[in-house]
Amino acid sequence: MRARFCGFVTGDADFLHATWDPAQRPARATLGEPGPRWCRLDVAHSHAEGGQGEVRFTALGRESGHFFTLSEASRFRFDAACAHWLYVDGDATWQRLDTGRNAPCPCGSGLKAKRCCARD
C-alpha cells in the first residue's frame, strides 16, 4: 500500500498499472492532470491470510485549494509468479476538510496550513 501511495505522489502511472490485479485493472492507468497533491498516508490496519490481504488507510490530499481525506479498505492478492501483492479493489470514502489558512496543517507538521501544504 505504501508503495502504491508513493506511485500516486510521484505520478508514476506505469508503476500503478503494474501493481494492479490484471483481472481488475483498466486497459491503462491514467492520472488526472494536475491531480491532487498527496500530503500524508496513515495505515490503520493491515491483514493477510493466505494469498488475500486487506489494508485500511486514510490519505490526506489537497486539490483545487481544498484539503480532503480518502479513507479506503483496499483488497490485495499475492501473485506468486511475480512475488508481489497486487491491488484488486477497494471501498473508498472521500471527505472534504474545511481548514482555514491560519489553522494547523492537517498533515501534522505543526505549521500553519498556509506555510505548509496549503501554500500554492
Check: pTM over 0.95? Answer yes or no: no
**pLDDT tens digits along 29-55:** 667 677 899 999 999 999 999 999 999
Are 49 and 62 a contacting pair, CB within 8 Å?
no
Does 100 score more than 90 pLDDT?
A: no
pLDDT reported for residue 120? 63
Buried b (16+ CB within 10 A) or exposed e, 87-96: bbebeeeeee
**Binning pLDDT at 50, 70 and 90, where does residue 27 land?**
confident
Say what percent of the chain tops pLDDT 70: 97
**pLDDT tens digits along 72-97:** 999 999 999 989 999 999 999 999 99
